[in-house]
Structures are given as structure tokens and as C-alpha cells.
Structure 1
Amino acid sequence: MRAVPSWALVPSGCAPVVLVAGWTTAAVLEGPSYDAARQTISVLAAHGAAGFWVMTGALLALGVCHLGTAWALRPAATAGRVALAAGGVAAFAVVLVPAPSSGGALRHGAVAATGFVVLALWPVLAAAGPAAPWGLRPAPCLAATAVMGLGALWFLVETNRHGAPGLAERAVTCVQSLWPFVVVVSCLYHQRTNGTT
């Protein structure tokens, strides 16, 4: 089994940090008019938003993190690595096709949905078998994909009922940005305990 380089901790660990720091800072810049529970992250990255550059920078950094992690996760199945990289590219695409300040747009929604889908599927596509590191075994991979899929469904329900889509989106994107780090840590632990480099 090919080894994961220790530098993979940097992009995988930075992904959730830059995402949460980005939306937190952008929301503070936007002020009390922004409702994090009811409004999506995309509103913060819309042209004209006070924190536009902060959220845009965070999304670009997230894309770079996913691409770096996909490159480093050599023990993962190729389809999973490609899906994770596609999630990184989707983050770039979200920046290129921003939502209007009202928070809705068909083109932006399609790009964001594509990102949700590929990032929800990458764990199960990355599964490498029962002897693989814990984060690449079939059961944890399937569970991660199920949790992300349920989170995306929750987001759709909240959006359609005009409830709290911002809260649902933050929950699912937190899981999607944190899971690569969990996989990298499990791979590095597996390598250490099995004496592989």
C-alpha cells in the first residue's frame, strides 16, 4: 500500500479551519443584517457583500486544500481521489459563479450542488478494502457518505421550507471539510503502527 506523506496533514487540517474562519469573519463584516441560520454561505461570497473577499479567499483556499489532500491520499481508490479533487474544483467554480446578494441563482445552485454531491460521494468511492487504514475501510466510508448525504437532504428541506438552510449548510460543509483530515490521520497512524513509510 502506498504511503501518505506527513505533509498531507497541512491541507487536510487547514480545510475546516479556513472554511469556518472564512464564514465567521465574513459574517462579522456583514454585520447584524446577516442571519447565519437562515442565510447561506454563498450570500457572504456574493458581489457587494461586506466580507466578499474574505469568503471568496476562504473558498479558494478550501479548493486548494481538497486538491492537495486528494494528491496525497495515495492509498485511497482512484475514484475517491478524483471525487475529492472535483470537490476542490467545485469550490473554485462556486467563486467563479457567485450567488447574487439575494442568495439564489440557478447557475450558482447547480455548481454548489455538484460540489455537495462529489464531496458526499468521495468517501465511499475512496474505500480501499478491509485491510486499509480505518478511514478507508468500507464501513466508515459508507457511514461518512450517508451522513453527508443526509446533511445535504436536510439542507434541501430547509431551503424549500424557508427554514434554516444556513445552519444545515454549515453542518454538512463542516463534515465534508473535516472528513479528509480524519482519513489522513487514520492513514498516518496505520503507517506508523505497521512500520510503513
Structure 2
Amino acid sequence: MRSVPRWALISSGSAPVLLVAGWTVAARLEGPAYDPVTQTISVLAAYGAAGFWVMTGAFFALGVCHLLTAWGLRPAAPAGRVALAGGGVAAFVVALLPAPSSGGSLRHGSVAVIGFALLALWPVLAAADHGASAPWALRPVPALGATTAMSLGAGWFLIEMNRHGAAGVAERLVTCMQSLWPLVVVVSCLWHPDHDEPST
């Protein structure tokens, strides 16, 4: 079993903190005009938004965290690591292609969907082929459960977007799940009895 470097705890643990801090600060800067229940996170990163640079910086930081975590998760299957890294790249592109303040953007929305899909699929793609000897979060059943939960959350988000409902709540739920699961995987690998202290 290849070991996970302990710095992966920092990259994976920082992802949800930076994301939530980003949308919290950006929403405060935006003021009462922004409704976190019905409006998406992308609204906070739109051109002209008061918290534009805060939310854009949070997207970039999230991308860096996912890329570093994918690099450090050596026990995970390569396909899962690539999908997680792809989710990190999607966060970069979302930041580089902000939605206009007037409304949605096909390019921005398409990249966001790709990012959602990659981050929903990576748990099941990362499930290591070690059976019961694998770290808990890299076993097929927990990984499939994580992918299912994230997929359902993404589906709920799309439904709320179409009905102009609680899209902000749905998006925050699914992005929280997607940003927390890498930390769960890293912790499960570090706590696994076969984990050896890495030299670097």
C-alpha cells in the first residue's frame, strides 16, 4: 500500500474551509441584495460583484487544493486521481470564465457541470482494488455511496435551477460534500493500519 504524505491533510482540509470562507465573505461584501438561498455561488464571482475577487480567489484556491490532494493520494486508483485533478482544473476555469452580472453563461455553466461531474465520479473511480485491505474510503461501497450522494445533490441543484427555487442551498450542499470527501479519503488512508510514514 503506497503511503499518503501528511501534507495532503493540509490541502484536503483547506479545500472546504477556503470555499465556505470565500462565499461567506463575498456574500457579506455583496450585502442584502444577494440571496444565498436562491442565488448561486457564481453570482458572487460575477463581473461587477462586490466580492468578485474574494470568490474568484476561493475558486483558484480550491483548484490548487484538489490538484495537490490528487497528487498526494497515492493509494487511490489513477482514474480517480485524474478525475479529482480534473475537478481542480475545472475550478480554475470557472474562475477564469465568470458568469456575467446580467445572468448565466453557457461557457461558465458548461465548465461548472463538467466540474460537478468529475468531482461526483472521482470517489468511485478512486476505489482501490484491494478489497477489505484498502483504506475505508477507498473501498467500493463507501466510494459508491459518496458518488451517489454527490450525484443526487447535483441533480437537486439542477432541479432548483430550473424551477428558480433554492438553488443556492442545493449548490452549497453538493459543493460542501465534494470538497469534504478528499479529506475523508486522506484521513482514512493515514489511519489505515498499513500506512507507512512517507519519507517526503
TM-score range, shorter chain: over 0.9
Residue type of the partner of 1:170?
R
2: CA distance between counterparts of 1:87 and 1:14? Answer: 16
Residue type of the partner of 1:60?
F
Q: CA shift at 1:105, angstroms?
A: 1.2
Match of 2:14 in 1: 14
Match of 1:158 in 2: 160
What SS does structure 2 have at the residue aligned with 1:2? coil
Q: CA shift at 1:189, angstroms?
A: 0.2
How many equivalent residue pairs?
195
The two structures, once aligned, show a CA RMSD in angstroms of 0.8
Match of 2:107 in 1: 107
Match of 1:96 in 2: 96
Question: Which shifted more, 13-22 or 127-136?
Answer: 127-136
Match of 2:35 in 1: 35
Match of 1:145 in 2: 147
Question: Which shifted more, 45-54 or 99-108?
Answer: 99-108
Match of 1:177 in 2: 179
Cα deviation digits, residues 85-105 of structure 1 (max 9, x gap): 000000000011110113411
Residue type of the partner of 1:87?
G
1: CA distance between counterparts of 2:108 and 2:168? Answer: 16
1: CA distance between counterparts of 2:189 and 2:2? Answer: 10
TM-score, length basis structure 1:
0.97
> What percentage of residue pairs aligned between the two structures are identical?
73
1: CA distance between counterparts of 2:144 and 2:102? Answer: 36
2: CA distance between counterparts of 1:182 and 1:156? Answer: 26
2: CA distance between counterparts of 1:195 and 1:46? Answer: 43
What SS does structure 1 have at the residue aligned with 2:66? helix
Structure 2: runs of 5+ lacking an equivalent: none
Question: Which shifted more, 94-103 or 168-177?
Answer: 94-103
Q: CA shift at 1:196, angstroms?
A: 2.5
Q: Is the 8 A contact 2:189 2:195 kept in 1?
A: no
**Where do 1:6-85 residues align within 5 Å?**
6-85=6-85
Cα deviation digits, residues 128-153 of structure 1 (max 9, x gap): 03221001000000000000000000
User: Structure 2 vs 1, CA of residues 74 and 195 (structure 1 numbering), >3 Å: closer, same or farther?
Assistant: closer
Q: Is the 8 A contact 1:42 1:103 kept in 2?
A: no
Structure 1 stretches of at least 4 aligned residues deviating more than 6 Å after TM superposition? none
Structure 1: runs of 5+ lacking an equivalent: none
Match of 1:168 in 2: 170
Q: CA shift at 1:47, angstroms?
A: 0.8
Q: Is the 8 A contact 2:3 2:195 kept in 1?
A: no
Question: Which shifted more, 13-22 or 102-111?
Answer: 102-111
